[in-house]
Amino acid sequence: MSPNPSLFDSPAFRLATVSHQIKCALNKAVFESKLSREEILIRVNNLASEAGVSLTKGNGALSLDTFSKWLNPNASDYKPSTEALMAIYYALDKNIAIVEPLSKAFGIEIVGPKDIYYRDLGKIQCEMKELRKKQRAIEASK
């Protein structure tokens, strides 16, 4: 973190904006999906039913109206639950963009398989550099 953190780095700002950012990410993910809202809703409701989880305050299935309000960043009174976010994430074939705003609010970066590959490769290269340094020291001590 920088020595002079900006307003955008503050916990208060992150808390105040996380719901809006999640809703924007949901809206974008649904818009970019090849599925219609109705198809996504069917997947979400099927998963919730299979898990025995209610996604709304009532015990009924999630309606298109409520789902649309969850996707609208300006409908601040309508927020999806953690379970609903998970169901939408799976309904959209594990679209990581949905959960990135939440992870960023916690200051955590999500990495994928390619990022892990490069991290591991870099770690091995650093270890190899240290081993070569030790090898040269051993060879020089002869």
What per-residue confidence (pLDDT) applies to 142? 79
pLDDT (mean) for 31-43: 95
| Contact assessment for residue 71 and residue 26, using Cβ atoms and an 8 Å cutoff | yes
For residue 30, give every residue at least 6 positions away whose Cβ sits within 8 Å of its Cβ, in sequence order, or none.
Answer: 37, 40, 71, 92
- Whether the per-residue pLDDT at 137 is higher than 90: the answer is yes
Across 20-32, b (16+ Cβ under 10 Å) vs e yields ebbbbbbeebbee
pLDDT (mean) for 63-85: 93
Rounded to two decimals, what is the model's pTM? Answer: 0.75
pLDDT band at 4 (very low <50, low <70, confident <90, very high): low
What per-residue confidence (pLDDT) applies to 57? 83
- Whether the per-residue pLDDT at 2 is higher than 60: the answer is no
